[in-house]
Amino acid sequence: MRTLPLHADFGVEVLDINLATVTTNGAYPAIRELFERHSLLLFRAQSLTDDDLLRVARLFGPIEDRQDTPDGSFIVPKISNRQAHNKLGPASDAQLLNLKANMLWHTDSTFLPIPALLNIITARVLPSSGGQTELVSTRAAWKRLPADLKARVADAVLWHRFAHSRSKIDPTLATHELFTRWDDQAWRALWRNPVTGEDALYLASHAYGVDGMSEQEGQELIEVLFDFATQPERIYAHAWDVGDVLIWDERATLHRGTPWPYEEERTLASLCVSVTDSDGLPAMKPATTQGVLAS
3-284 has which CATH code?
A: 3.60.130.10
Give yes or no for residue 153 having a pLDDT over 70. Answer: yes
Beta bridge partners of 158: 187, 210
Q: What is the DSSP letter of 294?
A: P
Output the CA torsion sign for 132, 127, 170, 83. negative
Give yes or no for residue 70 having a pLDDT over 70. Answer: no
Give yes or no for residue 66 having a pLDDT over 70. Answer: no
CA distances from 56 to 66, 71, 241 (A): 19, 25, 20
Where do the domains of the chain lie?
3-284
Got the DSSP string for 24-89? TTTTHHHHHHHHHHHSEEEE-S----HHHHHHHHHHHSPBP-----TT------EEESB-TTS-BP
**214 vs 78 pLDDT, higher one:** 214
Q: Answer whether 187's CB lies under 8 Å from 202's CB.
A: yes
Pick from 285, 284, 280, 283: which is nearest to 196 by CA? Answer: 280
Q: Answer whether 205's CB lies under 8 Å from 100's CB.
A: no
* pLDDT of 73: 67
Q: Count how many Cα atoms sit within 13 Å of the Cα of residue 218 in the half-sphere of its side chain.
A: 23
* E strands, 138-249, in order: 157-160, 185-188, 190-192, 199-201, 207-210, 236-238, 245-249
Instruction: Out of 6-15, 236-245, 251-260, 286-295, pick the least confident.
Output: 286-295
Query: What is d(CA 80, CA 77) in angstroms, rounded to the nearest whole number?
Result: 9
* pLDDT of 89: 66
Give yes or no for residue 71 having a pLDDT over 70. Answer: no
Encode pLDDT of 52-63 as tens digits.
999 999 999 999
Encode pLDDT of 87-144 as tens digits.
776 666 777 888 889 999 999 999 999 999 999 999 999 999 999 999 999 999 999 9
* pLDDT of 68: 56
**pTM: predicted TM-score of the whole model, two decimal places:** 0.94
Encode pLDDT of 8-35 as tens digits.
999 999 999 999 999 998 899 999 999 9
* pLDDT of 142: 98
Encode pLDDT of 275-292 as tens digits.
999 999 999 999 999 999
Q: Answer whether 270's CB lies under 8 Å from 79's CB.
A: yes
**What mean pLDDT comes out for the span 187-202?**
98
**What mean pLDDT comes out for the span 206-221?**
96
Give yes or no for residue 206 having a pLDDT over 90. Answer: yes
